[in-house]
């Protein structure tokens, strides 16, 4: 299946840069919450772990949707989870679980994911295709 994103054909989820960045950021968060500093703060550890993993999961779920509007809907939810993750990271910094530098670096990664998601949403809303996975030769309006 092919998906056209900003003039680029994305054939698989792994080719979608925002997904790869979200997955990498989730891995970075997982490494941080595995530290002993988080060992007794189960609730915060679970919340930041869950919200960070939801970002790539929602992008993946949206990527497989039939319409551009559905994909955009999942990206909006992923943006909410990215914002939630940033908030949990700031709380972790406030509790001295991570350094200010780590917090800033991770929040910057999520800011980039948010910007990329916003751009992709804008593209999807402009395109507004009802059948994302059809090739041009399969559209009802084609002359073939």
Amino acid 12: pLDDT: 85
CB-side neighbour CA atoms (13 Å) of 63: 24
- pLDDT of residue 4 exceeding 60: no
Point out the least confidently predicted range of 46-50, 106-110, 117-121, 127-131.
Answer: 127-131
Decide the pairing of beta strands 8-10 and 3-5. Answer: antiparallel
Task: Return the H-helix or E-strand segment holding 5.
Answer: strand 3-5
Q: Which domains does the chain have, with CATH numbers?
A: 16-134 (1.20.1440.60)
Q: What is the pLDDT confidence band of residue 7, given thresholds at 50, 70 and 90?
A: low
Q: What is the pLDDT confidence band of residue 9, given thresholds at 50, 70 and 90?
A: low
> For 42-99, how does the pLDDT look when each residue is reduced to its tens digit (9 = 90+)?
999 999 999 999 999 999 999 999 999 999 999 999 999 999 999 999 999 999 999 9
């Amino acid at each position: 299946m092919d998906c056209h994103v900003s003039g680029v054909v994305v054939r698989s989820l792994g080719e979608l840069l925002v997904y790869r960045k979200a997955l990498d950021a989730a891995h970075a968060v997982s490494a941080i919450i595995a530290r002993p500093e988080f060992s007794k703060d189960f609730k915060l550890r679970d919340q930041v772990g869950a919200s960070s993993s939801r970002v790539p999961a929602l992008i993946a779920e949206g990527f497989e949707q039939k319409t551009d509007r559905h994909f955009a809907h999942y990206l909006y939810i992923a943006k909410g989870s990215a914002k939630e993750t940033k908030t949990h990271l700031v709380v972790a910094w406030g509790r001295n679980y991570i350094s200010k530098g780590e917090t800033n670096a991770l929040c910057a990664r999520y800011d980039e994911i948010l910007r990329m998601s916003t751009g992709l949403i804008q593209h999807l809303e402009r395109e507004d295709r009802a059948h994302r996975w059809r090739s041009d030769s399969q559209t009802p309006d084609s002359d073939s």
